[in-house]
A = this chain, B = another copy of it.
Amino acid sequence: MCRWNAYIGEPLLIDELLYKPKHGLIDESLHARMGAETTNGDGFGLGWYLSDMPTDPARYRSVNPAWNDANLRDLTRHIESHLFLAHIRAAIGSPVQQSNCHPFRHDRWLFVHNGMISGFAQMRREILMAIDPELFRGVTGSTDSETLFYLALSYGLADEPLGAMERAVGFVEQLAESHGIDAPVQMTIGIANGERLWAIRYSSNAESRTLFVSEDVEAVQRLHPENPRLRELTEGDRVVVSEPLADLFGAWIEVPESTGICIEDGSVDRRPFEPRRPSPHDPRASTSA
């Protein structure tokens, strides 16, 4: 599987989260701590927003393993951002190439995914056909993750991310059923637009990978106790991680199964995540016939 981290709050040097903590994301890309884990060495990506360009996210993606990429280390030491997403990839079934690394980007939106769509090889063509023709040109890779993102964009992610994801997942689950594929969707999702950060934890069979949100600023500060920069953090700063960091000091909220959250200005809103199958009139469902 993959892993991802996100941060939203006062501007932070990116390496404070990615490199400094013990068992942070970059360290995790190399050392698979849990026995069943594969190494996440099939590329990585970083997307971030600058305060004076909140609708124009920057992105750096590479097929190098994260742990040995000198550029990533250098960049993260010199870029400060109020909102960023980082992802390390373990490829399943699609080539290792820059266009298959997360985050995926469309206009002001960034998207990361940990998990998979089972049976994607059988369903890829139909899901691609369900993407809006105007959006189709943005699909440059061949992953299930990017395809899911563009399907959700087609369902209005830019207006309402959680609702659009519910409809996209519902579409995939219905399509999977028609193909005899069980439990197709497994995901934790991170979505950002420059002002807010959303996260989703959902799987068709309720066996998702983990997802945690930091509850208070102490949890973030303890990422690196000797770090004076982190003492300047304020209450509203949040870290979202798909895997727990070294020791979970402070309070970390584990995001439950089938839950979507939205973080803005320090507050964390939670709601159920319930996929919605396409209505009989949904044109996308008919093109996949």
Residue ranges of A at the interface with B (Cβ–Cβ < 8 Å): 30-32, 38-39, 41-42, 50, 53, 56, 58-65, 67-68, 70-71, 74-75, 77-79, 91, 94-99, 121, 124-125, 128-129, 133, 136-137, 139-142
Contact = CB atoms under 8 A, between A and B. Distances in A.
20 contacts: A30-B38, A30-B39, A32-B32, A42-B68, A50-B78, A58-B74, A60-B71, A63-B64, A64-B96, A68-B91, A70-B98, A75-B75, A94-B140, A97-B97, A97-B99, A124-B137, A125-B129, A125-B136, A128-B128, A129-B129
Given A65-B65, A137-B121, A78 B98 contact: no
B96 A68 contact: yes
B42 A39 contact: no
Contact of A65 (B42, B121, B136, B140): B42
A94 B78 CA distance: 23
Copies of this chain present: 4
Contact of A75 (B30, B58, B67, B137): B58
Contacts of A75: 58, 60, 75
Contacts of A79: 79
Contacts of A63: 64
Given A32-B39, A58-B77, 15 more contacts: A32-B32, A42-B68, A56-B77, A56-B78, A58-B74, A61-B70, A63-B64, A65-B65, A71-B71, A95-B98, A95-B140, A99-B142, A124-B136, A125-B128, A128-B128
A56 B15 CA distance: 15
Nearest to A120: B137
A109 B129 CA distance: 27
B64 A78 contact: no
Nearest to A77: B58
A268 B77 CA distance: 32
5 cross-chain pairs, A with B, having the tightest CB-CB distances, nearest first: A58-B78, A97-B97, A41-B41, A39-B39, A68-B96
Contacts of A58: 74-75, 77-78
Nearest to A287: B129
A40 to B, nearest CB: 10
Given A32-B39, A65-B41, A98 B97 contact: yes
Contact of A60 (B74, B98, B124, B129): B74
Nearest to A68: B96
A98 B63 CA distance: 11
Contact of A31 (B38, B61, B125): B38
A172 to B, nearest CB: 17
From A78, A94, A133, residue with most partner B Cβ within 10 Å: A78
